[in-house]
Structure 1
Amino acid sequence: MTFLSSHSHAKKFIRFWGIQANSTSHAERFIAALEGFLCMAVVIFVTRYFVPSDGAAFLVASMGASSVLLFSAPGGPFSQPWPLVGGHLISAAIGITSAMMISDLLLASAVAASVTIFAMHYLRCIHPPGAATALTAVVGGPAIRESGYWFLVAPVGINVLVLLCMAILVSYVFGHWFPGRRYPANSKRQ
């Protein structure tokens, strides 16, 4: 195998997996990570204040995935406020309902994920981490199941509200140095 041939195979392999060149500056990558750190710290602090940590989750893990979207791709369509809020809250409601109505864990999980996808499409709030929120409501254990629809408010609602407020705040703070990182994408800044 010649060098050119192996190089061609490597390019095909990279293209197949969707690996693309990243033109994001090192400073912007650092700022995204810093924003994610600050945001998750505040989400945890605020949610702990409102949600007792007596076995029930006070932080929904899918919020970490949402922070990746919000701070790595703040202008992306899945990162905007309605997909963030609607995607998580609607998905949580679907997950809770699935867990309450379907006793088989596998079937409840499949129904929650598929109905979440369907609902997010029709309500125009596609936010992939929302599907994980729906699954958390189904497989998250007895403490989450026992909380019922309260899970929608605490921790999900609190997590999402703080995440959204922090995304807007850090965009305002860092937007002076990185004007292309404004959030929400259609906000105007002078």
Structure 2
Amino acid sequence: MARVFRNSFEFLVVSLCFLCVFYVHKLLFHQQELTLVIAAFGASSVLAFSEGRTVNSPVKMFASSMLGAFLGVFCSRLDTLLVVKIVLAIGLCIALMSRWSIQYPPAGAIALIPILSGSAIQELGYWFLVYPTLTGLFIIYSFSKLKHYLNSIFYGQ
């Protein structure tokens, strides 16, 4: 029974986190074009909400995601085929994360958002690094810390 309560608690915290991500960015964009943003943050949340089983530090999470966002915007502005933009963004993101030892898999998805998204996100240009990238990561990180804190209170972990 305790396990069911704990799983329900985790579901509630994660659901509230994504509602927060959605509504904060809905206010920032004034549009509904958030599907790709929320999908990329889903990968980030899996790592952020894991019970200490991830080796990613907050510094690596933020640095690699900002790198992915920068490369995505940069590549989205190139005057070339879509497939070339995608390959360059992911390839450069992986190469630079490996070079700087900041591997964080969701950064590859974040790099694709400015390339594959619609006009509302593409028009942000490099502001994409601030929102939705930085704001979304901050919300997810904050909720994951809240969940870990509440777990330590309720379950002694």
TM-score relative to the length of structure 2: 0.83
Match of 1:64 among 42, 56, 62: 42
Alignment pair present for 1:119 and 2:96? yes
1:76/1:179 Cα in 2 relative to 1: closer, same or farther (>3 Å)?
farther
How far apart are the structure 1 equivalents of 2:52 and 2:23? 23
How far apart are the structure 2 equivalents of 1:42 and 1:125? 27
Alignment pair present for 1:35 and 2:13? yes
Question: Max radius of gyration: which structure?
Answer: 1
Alignment pair present for 1:93 and 2:31? no
User: Which one scores higher on RCO, CA 8 angstroms, separation ≥ 6?
Assistant: 2
Give structure 1 regions of 4+ aligned residues with deviation exceeding 6 angstroms: none
**What is aligned with 1:75?**
53
Match of 1:46 among 21, 24, 30: 24
How far apart are the structure 2 equivalents of 1:82 and 1:135? 21
Higher helix share: 2
Q: Is the 8 A contact 2:22 2:34 kept in 1?
A: no
Q: Is the 8 A contact 2:36 2:113 kept in 1?
A: no
How far apart are the structure 2 equivalents of 1:127 and 1:178? 29
Instruction: Give the unaligned 5+ runs of structure 1.
Output: 1-24, 181-190
**For the aligned residues, what is the CA RMSD?**
2.3
**1:174 Cα deviation after fit:** 1.8
**1:140 Cα deviation after fit:** 1.2
Question: What percent of counterpart residues are identical?
Answer: 27
**What is aligned with 1:148?**
125
